[in-house]
Amino acid sequence: MAADVKTKKRRTQGERREEAESKLIEAATVLVATKGFDGFSLAEVGDLAGYSRGLPGHYFGSKIELQNRVAEHIVSEFYKDAADLPIRKRGLQRVNDLIRHYIRVSKLERVKALTFLFTQAQIEDSLKKTMTRLHNQAISTLKQEIEIGIENGSIRRDVDPLLQAGVIYAFLRGQLAFAVLDPSYETVSLGETFIANLKQSIQAG
Amino acid sequence: MAADVKTKKRRTQGERREEAESKLIEAATVLVATKGFDGFSLAEVGDLAGYSRGLPGHYFGSKIELQNRVAEHIVSEFYKDAADLPIRKRGLQRVNDLIRHYIRVSKLERVKALTFLFTQAQIEDSLKKTMTRLHNQAISTLKQEIEIGIENGSIRRDVDPLLQAGVIYAFLRGQLAFAVLDPSYETVSLGETFIANLKQSIQAG
Amino acid sequence: MAADVKTKKRRTQGERREEAESKLIEAATVLVATKGFDGFSLAEVGDLAGYSRGLPGHYFGSKIELQNRVAEHIVSEFYKDAADLPIRKRGLQRVNDLIRHYIRVSKLERVKALTFLFTQAQIEDSLKKTMTRLHNQAISTLKQEIEIGIENGSIRRDVDPLLQAGVIYAFLRGQLAFAVLDPSYETVSLGETFIANLKQSIQAG
Amino acid sequence: MAADVKTKKRRTQGERREEAESKLIEAATVLVATKGFDGFSLAEVGDLAGYSRGLPGHYFGSKIELQNRVAEHIVSEFYKDAADLPIRKRGLQRVNDLIRHYIRVSKLERVKALTFLFTQAQIEDSLKKTMTRLHNQAISTLKQEIEIGIENGSIRRDVDPLLQAGVIYAFLRGQLAFAVLDPSYETVSLGETFIANLKQSIQAG
DNA sequence: AATGAATGAGACTTCATTCAT
DNA sequence: TATGAATGAAGTCTCATTCAT
């Protein structure tokens, strides 16, 4: 009993901190999305998360550190998203599934924050690392699937997996720009057009 | 000769102003590119342009107004660039020329500033107007050329000009993200891959 | 004929300047009344008067100089106002006429500016001189009339002319504070009450 | 003893803030009195109060808010002052006591600040409310005392309490203008003259 | 003579950061 | 541990003033 209580308390201390950090990061994500990479104050983050105005500074030490944590958080969410897509067929079919998955984009707010982070990564070295990791991971996933497609005969042998992965990813990154600028934009038919093109270019036989 | 001097002198009042504004906007463009949309001060702009630290505020009234002028300046430069591309063949061939032209991209600095402006346009209405204009103009140029291609027989009749233009523009916008994040990135071969794909998808016959 | 034209022109030069200065001072008066002693810019004065934004600085050299000119202008207008009151009876009757005259106050805008100038005179030496002159002149006019009243038998002999003049002027100055703060305030009946009191205090016999 | 220390320590967070605000407001009052309603900077306030130059802005958010707080502070001090006057006799006698009390005026500095606030109230709505409150309270106090005087027989029955209160207050407000403009001015004999007049006008019997 | 271009100082305001409780 | 008090630096913006035309 006593032990239980103690354990509970001991965990609570660490867990409460973890939960608070998590909520602060999510609040910061919203603020990045709505006010830009630097357009908010640490106090606002505390307010929005329902904690004190001093807490973000207390936990993260500096603003840039919090911004980096936001980047890492978003990237890891994207990893999770990608992992969530069930595998049906491999090769070309799955490449197309991945494209649709990417476009069907979960939360607009997260995507908006992402574009700010990508852009800022040009000039902020700590971000550049994190965001490049995301780029590379996405391209690598596509490349691997193309290689599988070549092996299982759904994709032509003369296709360059890395370059094709790059082309696909560039398209996906580009259509994001439309999506965030004008949320009513019809990105789905754009994606289907791209997929149709792709079939004609790389489908085997 | 004397007339020249006189002309120079007579021009001065209005022209001095115009020249100063122009230099300030160019300085601001550089600063947007290197320090982000908001990461510079008006004083820096004055310094970099070789004027006083107070002039930018004096002329543009507010920072956002200067930022809008930067956006307009860049957009108009892009129009000029597009107009500079000599017309050789029409239709598919010219679509490809346009893609290469876009990728071969004049100044890195201008492109970097552009990505910041695009991103900020999500949350700044005055920018959104200007940047949307650029989007629309680019897509419209591509669409028209595709229509010409359909008419002159270089592009298949069943191609949807607007959707294809959107796909092409999305790719171009996306490859920019690589280019600015890692200036050593090989965007040319990426572009050639895309062009090769495109031929197989939309070329007639 | 030629002489006429010339004369006209010669006067025009000087007269135009005088007219412009006058208009600028009146514009400045309005601005003092509506935005406070210092709450406007020289450029605004030029704008409001229908001249260039640089003219006030050009004519008056400095802002404080213009402000002093405003004070002098208002004071001299008040002199004119006082001189405009036709003399009917002398002594107590005329004291009462002067009180009513002061309360019936011509332009609200001029009175408002006046209160700003009085207040600022506490801390601005150049103004203090001008505004003290106005105080003294007003008190002196009242004092003289009281002396006349004593002589002509309308006012009691034991009345101290200077102190009574001071009391009257203080009341007038004080009711101004109501008038400018709340223009709908009924200052006329206030004045009649004061006059009735005064009669009982200083009327002879 | 120990308790004292403890109490002091325990109080600190909230009390530190309250004390700092109070000191800042008092410093601002001095500056309004000596440099005019707008003639000082927030940084000066911090300096004069012995805090950092940034604190006034941090606490009050804006200069006008601080100015409003100064107005409220002065008004509440005046209330306290009025409450401090011991009641001896009621009616006419107390009216006279109130007049002398008002003229004998505590701190010159506070009165000077007051005149700036009154004047500025013409054009600043937030101030107008506060200063009108003070006007009304003063007039109301006088009116009530006149009514008491009528009841207890020291003041004539045909006197209009509100109008007479207005007359008295106008005189008091007006003599202030002399007092602040020329601190050597003999306001006491002015007041006694007014009081003598008043007796002849409103005293019963 | 008059316009307005350009400077530079100064103020308000906002915040990241540090510090005390 | 967490709150918020306090600092100090920076940035935007506004103008009086000077200067060139």
**Taking residues A17-46, what's their average pLDDT?**
97
How far is it between the farthest Cα atoms of chain D?
Answer: 66
Select from D121, D128, D194 the Cβ nearest to the Cβ of C167: D194
DSSP, collapsed to helix, strand or coil, labels residue A99 as: helix
Buried b (16+ CB within 10 A) or exposed e, D40-49: bebebbbbbb
Instruction: Dig out the tokens for C75 from the structure.
Output: 């004071």
Q: Under a CB-based contact definition with an 8 Å cutoff, are residues C134 and C145 in contact?
A: no
Specify the pLDDT at position C185: 87
Chain C contact set for D112 (CB, 8 A): 122
| Closest among B12, B121, B18 to B75, alpha carbons compared | B121
- How far is C-alpha D175 from the geometric centre of its chain's CA atoms? 14
Q: Give me the D residues in range 37-56 that sit within 7 A (CB) of strand F.
A: 46, 51-55
Kindly report which amino acid residue has its CA closest to the C1' atom of nucleotide E8: B54
Between residues A172 and C105, the one the model is more confident about: A172
Instruction: Dig out the tokens for A141 from the structure.
Output: 């996933």
Q: Give all chains having 3 or more CB-to-CB distances under 8 Å with chain B.
A: A
Specify the pLDDT at position C79: 86
- A136, A138, A144, A148: CA torsion to nearest 10: -170
**Taking residues C109-121, what's their average pLDDT?**
96
Indicate yes or no: strand E within 7 A of the C-beta of A62.
Answer: yes
Select from A118, A128, A181 the Cβ nearest to the Cβ of B121: A181
Specify the pLDDT at position A11: 62
| Closest among C92, C84, C16 to C55, alpha carbons compared | C16
How much is the mean pLDDT over chain A? Answer: 92
| Closest among A8, A25, A194 to A99, alpha carbons compared | A194
Select from C119, C164, C166 the Cβ nearest to the Cβ of D119: C119
Specify the pLDDT at position B81: 85
The whole-angstrom separation of Cα B132 and Cα B118 is: 9
**Taking residues B39-56, what's their average pLDDT?**
97
| Closest among D198, D138, D197, D193 to D162, alpha carbons compared | D138
Instruction: Dig out the tokens for B112 from the structure.
Output: 């970097």
* C54-96: pLDDT as tens digits: 999 999 999 999 999 999 999 999 888 888 889 999 999 999 9
Between residues A185 and A143, the one the model is more confident about: A143
Q: Which nucleotides of F are covered by protein (CB under 7 A)?
A: 1-21
Q: Does chain B touch chain C (at least 3 C-beta pairs within 8 Å)?
A: no
Lowest mean pLDDT segment, chosen from B47-51, C21-25, D84-88, D144-148: D84-88
Q: Under a CB-based contact definition with an 8 Å cutoff, are residues B114 and B38 in contact?
A: no
Query: Is D61 a residue whose pLDDT tops 90?
Result: yes
Buried b (16+ CB within 10 A) or exposed e, B102-141: bbebeeeebbbbbbbbbbbbbbbeebbebbeebbeebbeb
**Taking residues C178-187, what's their average pLDDT?**
90
Select from B119, B122, B181 the Cβ nearest to the Cβ of A128: B181
Query: Band of the pLDDT at D14, cuts 50, 70, 90?
Result: confident
Query: Is D4 a residue whose pLDDT tops 60?
Result: no
Looking from the CA of D132 toward its CB, the CA atoms found within 13 Å total: 15
Indicate yes or no: strand F within 7 A of the C-beta of C52.
Answer: no
Instruction: Give the closest-approach CA distance of B170 to chain A in angstroms.
Output: 4
Instruction: Dig out the tokens for D154 from the structure.
Output: 């020291």
Q: Under a CB-based contact definition with an 8 Å cutoff, are residues D37 and D23 in contact?
A: no
**Taking residues D197-201, what's their average pLDDT?**
96
| Closest among D3, D55, D2 to D25, alpha carbons compared | D55
For tokens 């007092």, name the residue. Answer: D179
Select from A36, A181, A196 the Cβ nearest to the Cβ of B132: A181
**Taking residues A104-111, what's their average pLDDT?**
84
Domains along chain D with CATH numbers? 2-202 (1.10.357.10)
Residue of C nearest to D164 (CA): C193
Specify the pLDDT at position D1: 37
The whole-angstrom separation of Cα D152 and Cα D143 is: 14
How far is it between the farthest Cα atoms of chain C?
Answer: 70
Output the CA angle B180-B184-B187, nearest 5 degrees.
Answer: 75
DSSP, collapsed to helix, strand or coil, labels residue A155 as: strand
Q: Do D38 and C38 touch (CB under 8 A)?
A: yes
Output the CA angle D79-D85-D88, nearest 5 degrees.
Answer: 140
Select from C166, C193, C196 the Cβ nearest to the Cβ of D190: C166
Specify the pLDDT at position B83: 85
Instruction: Dig out the tokens for C165 from the structure.
Output: 């003049």
Specify the pLDDT at position D175: 95
Q: Under a CB-based contact definition with an 8 Å cutoff, are residues B148 and B90 in contact?
A: yes
Query: Is B9 a residue whose pLDDT tops 60?
Result: no
Specify the pLDDT at position B197: 97
Indicate yes or no: strand F within 7 A of the C-beta of C42.
Answer: yes
Query: Is A77 a residue whose pLDDT tops 50?
Result: yes
Q: For B70 and E10, how far is CA from C1' in angstroms?
A: 28
DSSP, collapsed to helix, strand or coil, labels residue B155 as: strand
Q: Do A39 and B38 touch (CB under 8 A)?
A: yes
Kindly report which amino acid residue has its CA closest to the C1' atom of nucleotide E6: B55
Specify the pLDDT at position A26: 97
Between the two ends of chain A, the Cα-to-Cα distance in Å is: 69
Residue of C nearest to D191 (CA): C167
Does any CB of chain B come closer than 8 Å to the CB of residue A116?
yes
Chain A contact set for B201 (CB, 8 A): 196-198, 200-201
Q: Which nucleotide is nearest to D66 (CA to C1')?
A: E12
**Taking residues A139-163, what's their average pLDDT?**
97
Q: For C65 and F20, how far is CA from C1' in angstroms?
A: 24
Provide the strand spans (E) within chain A. none
Does any CB of chain D come closer than 8 Å to the CB of residue C162?
no
Q: For B59 and F15, how far is CA from C1' in angstroms?
A: 13
Chain C contact set for D173 (CB, 8 A): 173-174, 177
How much is the mean pLDDT over chain C? Answer: 92
Specify the pLDDT at position B150: 98
Chain D contact set for C198 (CB, 8 A): 197, 201
Chain B contact set for A38 (CB, 8 A): 36, 38-39
Residue partners of C126: CB distance under 8 A and separation at least 6 = C64, C68
Return residues 22-41 of C near D (CB < 8 Å). Answer: 34-39
Return residues 172-191 of A near B (CB < 8 Å). Answer: 172-178, 180-182, 189-190
* B69-95: pLDDT as tens digits: 999 999 999 888 888 889 999 999 999
Q: Do C121 and D181 touch (CB under 8 A)?
A: yes
Q: Give all chains having 3 or more CB-to-CB distances under 8 Å with chain D.
A: C
Give me the percent of chain B exceeding a pLDDT of 70.
Answer: 94
Specify the pLDDT at position D106: 64
Specify the pLDDT at position A9: 53
For tokens 């009081």, name the residue. Answer: D195
Query: Is A205 a residue whose pLDDT tops 90?
Result: no
Does any CB of chain A come closer than 8 Å to the CB of residue B123?
yes
Q: Which nucleotide is nearest to D16 (CA to C1')?
A: F5
Residue of D nearest to C31 (CA): D123
**β-bridge partners, A155:** A203
